[in-house]
Amino acid sequence: MSSNEPFVSVITPCYNGADFIAECIDSVLAQDYRNFEYILVNNCSKDNTLEIMREYARKDSRIIVHDNTDFLDVMVNHNHAMSLMSPASKYCKCVSADDWIFPECVTKMVELAEANPTVGIAGAYSIEGKRILFEGLDYEQKVVNGREICRNTLLGKMPYVFGAPTTLLYRADLIRKTPTFFPYAKGAPHADVSACYQALQHSDYGFVHQVLSYTRIHVQSESSSSFKFGKTQRAQLADLARFGPVYLNPQELAELLEIMIDKYYLWLVPALAENSFSREFLEIQKKGLKDIGFEFSPARLLKAALMRGVELLESPGITTQKVSAMLKRKGRIVARGTSLT
């Protein structure tokens, strides 16, 4: 890009990230894009995260370290970090402390957004282990109407491409419109997805057809915890209840809610078995559903259990393999996809 590069705020909120934060910071400082500030927010870490941040700040004047006085929930902390952006920033790039970005990441995303002023959020492919995430858009699709992509994503008519904060670039004026760009809902922590549904009501979605980030999944990550305890499944229900009326007609919304609720209970049956039918685990599910406006239904759970029983009878070999694998991993956090099944 030219010397008139728009100013970008890169932010990394972090709690106990000493194992990975240096790699993350190095990747940001290695960007071929030069006109940015880098805001590191230490969320009351108990390891030496803050010391690592301050050491980097001493060597690079673009780095600003903010040390929270009080611990904040993960998405509340993201909103807090965004509030620290410079008034001069035109774009905001989040980079999670356990992820990293390739050297062209900011340049390619800003180029796309600058060429298409209607784009409020830009994404790209990401690597997770050996997998390439967010595949599916045709190469010619570099800009998609925001309301169209939200509607089709809710309906499952197109590949999921919203991604996590590390994989996205946000237009700063959308962030400044609300103190809760990540619209955190109690019991549904995946407000990064909710932010896409919220922002794309009035802007378009852009996509760079290159791998620009690396997403790390490990046992301590928020994603792993969410998959294990059903937060991801409940977040999908919460987003459907909140944004379905915006993007779907009443009949579509009612039908899809029934499908999604059934899928949640089909997930819950083996999840209960994996947790030895723990009352504590069940209470977590009940409370989580209540927090997003749904009541726990014993009848739906029984229906799901019967359906799982039919599955066992119809394909005992396959299901036995699933149960065996489940018992082997019991007690361990295992990363899973976003499907409710």
pLDDT in tens, 233-242: 888 899 999 9
How open is the CA angle 337-339-341, to the nearest 5 degrees?
120
For the segment 90-109, what is each residue's pLDDT rounded down to a tens digit?
999 999 999 999 999 999 99
Please tell me the least confidently modeled range out of 64-73, 89-98, 153-162, 212-221: 212-221
Average pLDDT over residues 53-80: 96
Alpha-carbon separation of residue 34 from 37, 45, 96, 185, 275 (angstroms): 9, 29, 20, 36, 49
What gap in Å lies between CA 203 and CA 193, rounded to an integer?
15
* The pLDDT of residue 217: 77
Full-model pTM: 0.85
Binning pLDDT at 50, 70 and 90, where does residue 341 land? Answer: very low
Residue 285 near residue 296, CB atoms below 8 Å:
yes
Q: Give the position of tokens 């998609």.
A: 144
Does residue 284 register a pLDDT over 50? yes
What band does 231 get if pLDDT is binned at 50, 70 and 90? confident
Domain ranges across the chain: 8-214, 226-329
Q: Hey, what CATH class is 8-214 in? A: alpha beta
Confidence at 326, pLDDT banded by 50, 70, 90: very low
Mean pLDDT of 290-310: 90
For residues 306-334, average pLDDT: 55
What pLDDT band is residue 322 in, cutting at 50, 70 and 90?
low
- pLDDT of amino acid 130: 86
Q: Which residues contact 304 (CB under 8 A, 6 or more apart)?
A: 262, 265, 266, 268, 269
Q: What's the pLDDT band for 189 if we cut at 50, 70, 90?
A: low
Q: Hey, what amino acid is at 50?
A: L
Would you call 157 helix, strand, or coil by DSSP?
coil
Q: How confident is the model at residue 276 (pLDDT cuts 50, 70, 90)?
A: confident
Q: What is the pLDDT of residues 11-26, one digit of tens each?
A: 999 999 999 999 999 9
Whole-number average pLDDT of the chain:
87
* Span 222-240, average pLDDT: 71
